[in-house]
Amino acid sequence: MHPPIEFWFEFGSNYSYLSLMRIEALADRAGVPLSWRPFLLGPIFRELGYQSSPFNEQKEKGEYAWRDMERRAAKYGLPFKRPSVFPRPALLPMRVALLGADQPWMGEYCRRIMLQNWVHDRDIDNADVVLAALAGLVDDPAAIVAEAGSERTKLLLRAQTANARDHGIFGAPTFMVYNEMFWGDDRLEDALEWAQACPAP
């Protein structure tokens, strides 16, 4: 057994989209257990002095990132459309992801949400979109959405985000293998190789 790879991601993160659409299959092929770690980037960015995404605050960086997204999506054979709103709020789907992190439907649910944001340009912080993403995956989508709106779940997501900051995470996607950090979609394969080379816990 290899140690797990922790996948810290956000639905509003463009590079998280590229990793999330690939990571479950790649981790399975590598024999590396996958731990889903949804968290909120906004509070971390604000703590670091940004009021929005750095891609919005730095014009040249933003223009590069969108062209880079087009290239990398094409490389992976993934559809991609620059959304009309960026960063797009995603509190409700992120809370659902937190509830589903250890469930067998997690990967498919997350991929459905990502496609709604990064291909279909839909408001993913919308109960109807989240219910549709859960359809066929859980017995009672409405119950999951209701639990996601509870104060308990809200506090859990805040705690998860604080945990990310305690780990030194400053962006998404971030991959952790034990205490070894790998940041960015282009480091996914490196993180998996590191996990394969590590002794079992």
- List active site positions: 13
Q: Considering only CA atoms, which of 178, 12, 195, 163 is closest in space to residue 97?
A: 12
Q: Considering only CA atoms, which of 92, 98, 99, 157 is closest in space to residue 129?
A: 92
CA separation for the pair 79, 119 (Å, rounded): 6
CA separation for the pair 135, 150 (Å, rounded): 20
CA separation for the pair 144, 6 (Å, rounded): 23
Q: What are phi and psi of 182, to 5 degrees?
A: -130, 125
Residues 6+ apart with CB under 8 A from 1: 33, 200, 201
Q: What are phi and psi of 75, to 5 degrees?
A: -60, -40
Residues 6+ apart with CB under 8 A from 148: 92, 95, 96, 98, 99, 130
